[in-house]
Amino acid sequence: MRKVAVVGVGTSKFGNRTDVSLPELAWESVKEALDDARLGTEDIEAFVVGNVGGWSSEMLPAVVVGEYCGLVPKSGVRVEAACATGSAAVRTAYHMIASGEADIVMAIGVEKMNESPTPTVVEFIGRAGNYFWEFENFGLTFPGYYALYATAYMHRYGATEEDLCKVAVKNHYYGSLNPKAQFQKAITVEECLNSRYVAWPLKLYDSSPITDGSSAVILASEEAAKKITDTPVWIKAIGYANGTANLSKRLDFIGLEAAQIAAQMAYKKAGIDPQEPVKYLDVAEVHDCFTIAEIMAYEDLGFAKRGEGYKLVREGQTYIGGLIPVNVDGGLKAKGHPIGATGVSMIAELTRQLRQQVEKSRQAPIRKGMALAHNIGGTGHYAFVTILSLS
Amino acid sequence: MSDNVVNSVSKTLDKLYGEPLKQLETLIGATGLPVYKDPKSGALLWVDVRELRLRFTLSVNKIAKFVDGLREGKLLYTVCKRCGAKYFPPQADCPRCKASDMEWRETSPVGELITWTVINVKPASFSHHADYVVGIVKMPDGFNITAWVEADPKTLKPGMKMRLLVDRRPGENYITYWFKPA
């Protein structure tokens, strides 16, 4: 297997993007990534589009994006892994290079959720489980699935709704410092606690929004990377696993087994001690589609012991200056969660973090040169853990 | 007389999507184009004139006994005759030993609540219901069951005994299953 580097990254403004079509939205990040790598479309041998769709009009997003972005005829394909679709796109591009099939490949994540009215989007995401046994008869929603975990976790470990709100407060704070985030306003614990329930015990402010956005990363082989940039960011490891479709088949509701397995895989490949991963990492992006998801991520990744994840956020340990800065771009919670783009945007953000190129107020100190992305599809239906490194 | 599921869903969807369709008709009549400016962003938007309706037909052919069970007020699961693996939702095939010879058994009447939520923001096709409680219940048979819980959510606790009911769902009139505190 060959070494693979990130050599160019781009991310569109996230939000309700009524001003652009799906391919126009993709182009914003494709162009930024090409400019970042100082490459033209002719240099890209292949591309992978991460898009979930359903709520948007294009049935074949990879061909539409390929045509608009001047990536025809090349090897282009679309991949899907629910909310971890972006990571699946990065992983596919990674393997094309690692295997020697191609030298320069682009992963593009794009989603236009606002082409459909909100109730339609709620309906679509609610179906993202085991359709007949969870949705058809019982009308579960995406917040509902995570709420089942929140209820069990809070009863078991004594975490409170206020603890969950502290995750939202942190991520909104960092979102307010990120010009590309959907939400640019800091919030208070009180505002969060006073927001209405969407799926008890989860409230509106515990939840990531419906978002349009795109992100693109250009990956290259070692030889190609060294010609393109002086600061390649290496993909050290990608761990990934899946979970049961039907939540009733899970062993417990206090963590995501798929994420735990993905983390172990990634740590082993990257040479990280799974007992003390924070000793190796400068910064992390974790999948905070709901506040409870970020707390479980701390534990599934080994940043905190089982049942103690909420204490990290209580003590402010995941702000810059703490044990490990997490989601300092606003996370899914405040930056927004354009399903297929989210995983790609995590890699784009961490690449910029490692290169020390983000806004000063939210730049994590880079001392060890390693960063981690944790991207979950559905409710632990898929999990990807990706380790990036400067060396 | 309780309403049926087809009427209930159709009525809510008409309410949700009917008004924008009338506006679209007016828009095309007045301007000749299905185009308007988004009041929030000022962006120019084209409203799709080709509506897509989705309603799937799912095969329950291989689990016909499960359907028969519902009709008789029973909730059935499958046990692999070769290796003894138990399946709920019932499976016609056993991936563990690759056999497809199943025994159908009735689930126990009472289980224990593991976790639950209240669906406050509902999908469009469920928005004719008041907020509903969905729980996961551990059954003594060796599996869990996800279903609605008919109870005041404030009274619920992990480990509470839950009785299984199989009956016509009020407001929708088709047979399904749910739990009630035992």
In percent, the amount of chain B with pLDDT more than 90 equals 88
Determine the residue among B51, B119, B154 to mutate to test chain A binding: the one whose Cβ has the most chain A Cβ atoms within 10 Å: B119
Give the pLDDT confidence score for residue B1 in this predicted structure: 43
Q: How far is CA B16 from CA A121, A316, B23, in A?
A: 13, 43, 13
CB proximity list for A260: less than 8 A, separation 6 or greater:
A300
Q: Domain-by-domain residue ranges, chain A?
A: 4-117+211-228
For residue A39, pLDDT over 90 is answered with: yes
Give the pLDDT confidence score for residue B38 in this predicted structure: 95
Identified catalytic residue from A83, A165, A192, A289: A83
Give the closest-approach CA distance of B30 to chain A in angstroms. Answer: 23
Q: Which residues pair with B180 in a beta bridge?
A: B163
Q: What is the dihedral of CA A327, A333, A335, A338, to 10 degrees?
A: 120
Q: Domain-by-domain residue ranges, chain B?
A: 2-46, 58-106, 109-181
B99 CB neighbour count, 10 Å cutoff? 14
A192 included as an active-site residue: no
Give the pLDDT confidence score for residue A274 in this predicted structure: 98
Give the closest-approach CA distance of A284 to chain B in angstroms. Answer: 30
Q: Which residue is it, tokens 């490990």?
A: A324
The mean pLDDT value of chain A amounts to 97
CATH number for B109-181: choose from 3.60.21, 2.60.40, 2.40.50, 1.10.357: 2.40.50
pLDDT band at A248 (very low <50, low <70, confident <90, very high): very high
- Residues 47-106, chain A, touching B (beta carbon < 8 A): 57
Q: Which residue is it, tokens 């209580």?
A: A314
Judging by beta carbons within 10 Å of its beta carbon (0-12, 13-18, 19+), is residue A33 exposed, middle or buried? buried
For residue A233, pLDDT over 50 is answered with: yes
Q: Which of A353-357, B92-96, B124-128 has the lowest mean pLDDT?
A: B124-128
Cβ <8 Å between B117 and A151: yes
- Residues 64-93, chain B, touching A (beta carbon < 8 A): 88-89
CATH number for A4-117+211-228: choose from 3.40.1010.10, 3.40.920.10, 3.60.15.10, 3.40.47.10: 3.40.47.10
Residue type, B36: Y
A75 CB neighbour count, 10 Å cutoff? 15
For residue B2, pLDDT over 60 is answered with: no
Give the pLDDT confidence score for residue B16 in this predicted structure: 87
Whether the CB-CB separation of A24 and A210 falls below 8 Å is answered with no
The mean pLDDT value of chain B amounts to 95
Nearest to A328 by CA among A290, A296, A371: A371
In percent, the amount of chain B with pLDDT more than 70 equals 99
Q: What is the pLDDT of residues B52-85, one digit of tens each?
A: 989 999 999 999 999 999 999 999 999 999 999 9
Q: Which residue is it, tokens 């990744």?
A: A301
A69 included as an active-site residue: no
Residues of B within 8 A of A120 (CB-CB) are 124
Token reading at A268: 């082993």
Is the interface score ipTM higher than 0.90? yes
d(CA A187, CA B20): 34
CB proximity list for A152: less than 8 A, separation 6 or greater:
A252, A253, A254, B114, B115, B158
